[in-house]
Amino acid sequence: MTRIQLWKARGIPGYLVCKIDEETGCYLSDEKNSVLVETDWDFPATAQTFGWNIRGTQSDGTDCAHSGTDGTVICPDCQLTPSRFICDAADYLDSNLGKIVEDPGYFS
């Protein structure tokens, strides 16, 4: 199975999802082996790939599963906005730079 690693993009806002070279254990950042996640609308899905749980984003005093959103639209149950999910996802990504996980399909 292919593994991927999360890095911050240099010189532009966003993140890099890089394929890991299984022989050396090093990440590969060339165009063929990396994906630039530049659009903030992609942050929730990318964060979920690296272990973020959307359910951790809550409004005061609520316990919503957010089953009606992927983080890019308002939650129909609790009315949390996409900006809240996107900010929480970006915070998670920033806190998990360098994390390695199994590739769910970026490089398949």
Average pLDDT estimate for 31-52: 96
Q: Where are the domains of the chain?
A: 3-102
CA distance 87 to 71: 10
CB 24 within 8 A of CB 32: no
Cα 60 to chain centroid, rounded: 24
pLDDT reported for residue 62: 86
- Write down the pTM of the prediction: 0.93
Summary mean pLDDT of the chain:
95
β-bridge partners, 99: none
pLDDT digits (tens, 9 = 90+) for 59-102: 888 899 999 999 999 999 999 999 999 999 999 999 999 999 99
CA distance 90 to 1: 26
